[in-house]
Amino acid sequence: MRQFIAEIISIGRLRHRNIVTLLGYCRRKGELLLVYDYMPNGSLDKYLYNQPRVTLSWSLRFGVIKGVAYGLSYLHEGWEQVVIHRDIKASNVLLDSELNARLGDFGLARLYDHGADPRTTHLVGTFGYLAPENTRSARATTSTDVFAFGAFLLEVACGRRPIETRGEEPLILVDWVFSCWDKGDILEARDPNLGTDFVAKEVELVLQLGLLCSQSQPTARPSMRQVVQYLDGDLALEELSYLGISKDKAFSQTSSVANSVLSGGR
């Protein structure tokens, strides 16, 4: 409990335009509640899935993606300690009154000093966003956050959850996006609700960056600082084929873990 309260106090000192401000905590009869700034437009997922009549424009989606990337880069490298969020997903991205994205829900977050070894022993997070190495060792790192952010990128660009059960076989979003890229038409994976109102280069960048962040090997994923540079156009993203990405090499572990859990494995 002392460690939890210490971490909550530390997280309460985070200040960034893309981070929901933690105001405090409440403990009553063994129940712990975290109190944040009120975000009038709620969470991003309701716009992606629960309000079919409200289609988020591509410009708004791209702004949301960049906002979350800025916030996550700040958590990993821009603050006095390293903060691992451990539960990055659309439902934890909140929209303020001007529809700016803010990353929230730090209930699973862990802090450690720069240069230290993060020690996490319990597997937490949301299935579909968990990195393969996280499911084996339960060790959360900045790289496991990057993997979850990759799933988030594909989720926002495609308007689909990372894993969907359709019939007997689950649809693994990263595999589907890769198959579209592999046959030379990655834009086929975009959310059809966008219609023709999108910037093709931006959508292609987000989809390819989502694949890059979703690689099975942690060392092959970019840092969040690099992700921000890609999104801002300060760093050119090489063609995936030049980076040596292939389905067998990059995504096989992700798919096998997903199929195992869906079939009852834990």
Q: What is the set of active-site residues? A: 87
In DSSP terms, 170 is beta-bridged to: 165
Q: Helix 173-182 crosses helix 200-213 at what angle (to 10 degrees)?
A: 120
In angstroms, rounded to a whole number, what is the distance separating the alpha carbons of residues 266 and 258? 10
